[in-house]
Amino acid sequence: MKTKISGVELRRIAMPLVAPFRTSFGVETSRDVLLVRVVTSDGEGWAECGAMSEPRYCSEYVDGAQDVLRKFLIPALPKDGLDVQAVGRILHPFTGHNMAKSALETAVLDAQLRGVDESFGSYLGAARDRVPCGVSVGIMDSIPELLDAVEAYIGEGYVRIKLKIEPGWDIEPVRVVRERFGDELLLQVDANAAYTLTDAQHLTKLDDFDLLLIEQPLANDDMVQHAQLAKRLRTPICLDESIESAADAAAAISLGACSIINIKPGRVGGYLEARRIHDTARAHGIPVWCGGMLETGIGRAANVALAALPGFTLPGDTSGSHRYFATDITQPFVLSDGHLDVPTGPGLGVTPLPDLLDEVTTSREWIAL
């Protein structure tokens, strides 16, 4: 199937977070989001770029993503039409910039699916109509604040809690959350690469708390070190930052660097590559779950569809809209019994609500093909 693209709008929006989100790499108080809208012969397609304001989580950042889209990625698309399957191949000669590439491919996919009246979930191979939701809890100023936050999320129905950790905020917060909320609570931690292999002894203390996993304890390119750490911990290692492709996933699995994978479509260059990672992991019996980049409803819709694939056997960071924003730009995703429904409408199944979108828009740029 061929979709003819006439042009692409790059739109920036400012989305204040309901509360500051602190990780080992920094504090976020507002999301500066790049939205991509392709205008095609099949109609429009939307997508959200996961890149954050600063290159801390990974090397991409939102101004850079917009620049590479404007200068290289969008101009590389053919004027006479293309199938979404071709986008990855056309963008491949440009190294890196997975989040920018993902946004462009996803917008094309959305347009194409809307044109044939098929949903993301159906196209990707969703095996269920709703997904269980976890929540990622930032580093707090104090233990009482953390306990209040976790209690509130559990009260909202979240079925799994992920605590952000860093040296100085690790064993104690995990201990108190486990003590207060009991052994039944599904609990995991995310270090965002804040440790080194010399911390292995310290990290073994987490083994007492029956965690589902520890996410990305070591640096992004420490694949071998993760394999060594895995031999010393009972807590399963899950990789996030280290996995940028299906090839990375295959390498990590065969090396024993992880036994679980966090799949973020932006980080790996799109939903098609995300599905390939899912397939690879599933063939090896490795559980996967869907991560997040504090997305608006646009990115969230596609993530929830992906999270419905059969190999996504652990709850994802697919939280409800109100965990992030007082007002989302789409109809909000609202938890019901700890789950989010997989959208069933054509494409993403959601679109930005024009008035809400205009209110938060900070810039618009049109790039004709």
DSSP classification of residue 268: T
Is residue 164 part of the annotated active site? The answer reads yes
Pairing state between β 5-23 and 361-368: antiparallel
The pairing of strands 26-40 and 43-49 is antiparallel
Q: Which does 293 bind (CB under 5 to 8 A by kind): ligand OSB, Mg ion, none?
A: ligand OSB
Q: Are the C-beta atoms of 177 and 161 separated by less than 8 Å?
A: yes
292 binds, among Mg ion, ligand OSB, none (CB under 5 to 8 A by kind): ligand OSB
Helix (H) or strand (E) holding 267, with range, is none
Q: Which of 190, 273, 295, 328 binds Mg ion (CB under 5 A)?
A: 190
Stretch 130-149: interaction string toward ligand OSB, x if CB under 6 A: ------x-------------
8 Å CB contact between 124 and 273: no
Q: In the complex, what is the shortest distance from the CB of residue 108 to Mg ion, in angstroms, rounded to a whole number?
A: 27
Radius of gyration of the chain (CA): 20
Q: How near is the Cβ of 262 to Mg ion at its closest, in Å?
A: 6
Question: Toward ligand OSB, which CB reaches closer, 111 or 268?
Answer: 268
Choose the binding region for Mg ion from 43-51, 152-160, 214-222, 276-284 (rule: CB under 5 A).
214-222
Does 317 participate in binding Mg ion (rule CB under 5 A)? no
Footprint (CB under 6 A) of ligand OSB, residues 207-266: 240
Distance of CA 146 to the CA centre of its chain: 23
Residue 217 Cβ vs Mg ion, minimum distance, rounded to whole Å = 11
133 neighbors 156 (Cβ within 8 angstroms): no
- Tokens at residue 94, please? 């440009």
Told to check if 61 binds ligand OSB by CB under 6 A, we report no
| 44: amino acid identity, one letter | E
Tell me if residue 264 is catalytic: yes
In the shown chain, the binding pattern of residues 309 to 348 toward ligand OSB, with x for contact by CB under 6 A and - for none, equals --------x-x-----------------------------
Pairing of strands 130-132, 288-290: unpaired
Nearer to Mg ion, 35 or 243 (CB): 243
Q: How far is CA 282 from CA 132, 226, 237, 250, 290, in A?
A: 19, 21, 17, 11, 14
Q: Are strands 134-137 and 288-290 parallel, antiparallel or unpaired?
A: unpaired
Q: How far is 112 from 108, CA to CA, in rounded Å?
A: 6
Q: At closest approach, how far in Å is the CB of 216 from Mg ion?
A: 5
Backbone angles phi, psi at 32, to 5 degrees: -100, 100
38 or 218: whose CB is closer to ligand OSB? 218
240 is an interface residue for Mg ion by CB under 5 A: yes
Q: Is 57 in the site for ligand OSB (CB under 6 A)?
A: yes
Residues that bind Mg ion (CB under 5 A): 190, 215, 240
Residues that bind ligand OSB (CB under 6 A): 57, 136, 190, 192, 240, 291-294, 317, 319
